[in-house]
Amino acid sequence: MDHTRKRKRSNLFTNDLKTLLYAFGDVANPYAETVSTLEDILMEYIIDMCHEAARIAKTANRQKIKVDDFKFVLRNDPKKLGRIEELLSLQKEIAEARKTFDNSEGKNLSKAYNESDKDKSEKGEKGVKKEKKV
């Protein structure tokens, strides 16, 4: 697809591209033209991918793009498809770890709260009374 309309230069990936270039053997401070050209290529690739995924979603009578649409677009590129699967798996793993952490932290907080109430009752202190429902 050729989307040749003028886009405002955003420099979203400039620092990342400089770092990647250096990691792949370029100099620490590459030419600005090199980074700019790579960023243009990257932006065009991302936009084309999004348009293609939107086309797939529209074919399926959906207005929103799903991850499966991107998987379908990349079905002929096993490296990129594998990377998507890996990242989705990691995302799921991180979400489960956060959920476990939040649950265990919540239990610890409620345990500490209950112990402080227990201490007050042992000392004879009165806590806040709840109003009875009529």
pTM of the shown model: 0.65
What is residue 10's DSSP assignment? -
Give the torsion through C-alpha atoms of 107, 112, 115, 120, to 10 deg: -140
| 42-79: pLDDT as tens digits | 999 999 999 999 999 999 999 999 999 999 999 999 99
Query: What pLDDT, on the 0 to 100 scale, is given for residue 102?
Result: 84
| 9-51: pLDDT as tens digits | 678 899 999 999 999 999 999 999 999 999 999 999 999 999 9
Q: Which CATH number fits domain 9-73: 1.10.3720.10, 1.10.20.10, 2.60.40.420, 3.40.50.300?
A: 1.10.20.10
Query: What pLDDT, on the 0 to 100 scale, is given for residue 39?
Result: 96
